[in-house]
Amino acid sequence: MAGLYDDYLHIVVLADSPIRTLADLHDRTLATSGSGSAARILTDRLLATNSVPGVVPVTVAAGALADALIGRRADAIASTGGLPDPAIDELVRRVPVRLIPLAAERDKLNQRFSDQYLDRSLPAGMYGLTGEVETVGVRTVLVVRRDLPDRVAYALAELLFVAKPRLVATYGGARGIDPRSAMETYPLTLHPGAATYYRDVKPMA
């Protein structure tokens, strides 16, 4: 139906932590908000691809990542979200932190899963960063059944943009929803009804 926005992987440690690279997570605890979450799946693949053994997964309740790191129940936390990620925004307002750069490790991940993971950077200024931090991006895609009638898919695509202000009010990452990037759903095929809507609004004009 639509490519919505990019989710960015954030691996975060306290500012005084000895962890500075992905490899430093060896035999450390890493918390995410769910065992089947996008952050958990992505970090598991990243760690396996880069041969970082012994990482102890910790699952915390949604919204509790900041408390897990501040309370030192985890050595690091992983979160995926649009920019800015609300969980990381909350954390940096409470304590000094660092974000782990993932450029070299990301390249290895992309060699193995090139259709799924994107080269992305957290920009300077966000979360108080003095410089950009390279990380991994994942495209968030709105998916519908293949047999959804074209007219319904068209109407849903139109509704997505009518409702965008309300979506942004709920989740800042929704600012990235744009008719141009909405057509980018690879490796999934864009529904014909949605494709017709994007042609009609001529986002490339």
Domains of the chain: 7-140 (3.40.190.10), 143-201 (no CATH)
Transcribe 91-154 into DSSP letters. Answer: HHTTS-EEE---HHHHHHHHHHSTTTEEEEEEPTTGGG-SS-EEEEEEEEEE---TTS-HHHHH
For the segment 150-165, the average pLDDT, to the nearest whole number, is 95
pTM for the full model? 0.83
pLDDT digits (tens, 9 = 90+) for 15-59: 999 999 999 999 999 999 877 788 899 999 999 999 999 999 999
- Which residues does residue 77 pair with via DSSP β-bridges, in sequence order? 12, 31
pLDDT of residue 115: 65
Residue 56 Ramachandran class (φ > 0 left, ψ -120 to 50 alpha, else beta): beta
Percent of the chain at pLDDT exceeding 70: 97
pLDDT, mean over the chain: 90
pLDDT of residue 134: 94
Q: What's the DSSP call for residue 53?
A: -
**CA 155/CA 106 separation, integer angstroms:** 38
Tell me, what amino acid is at 59? T
pLDDT of residue 139: 86
Q: How confident is the model at residue 203 (pLDDT cuts 50, 70, 90)?
A: low
Instruction: Say how many CA atoms lie within 13 Å of 154 toward its Cβ.
Output: 10
For the segment 143-171, the average pLDDT, to the nearest whole number, is 93
For the segment 182-203, the average pLDDT, to the nearest whole number, is 88
Phi, psi of 8 (to 5 degrees): -110, 135
pLDDT digits (tens, 9 = 90+) for 86-131: 889 889 999 999 999 998 888 888 888 866 788 899 999 999 899 9
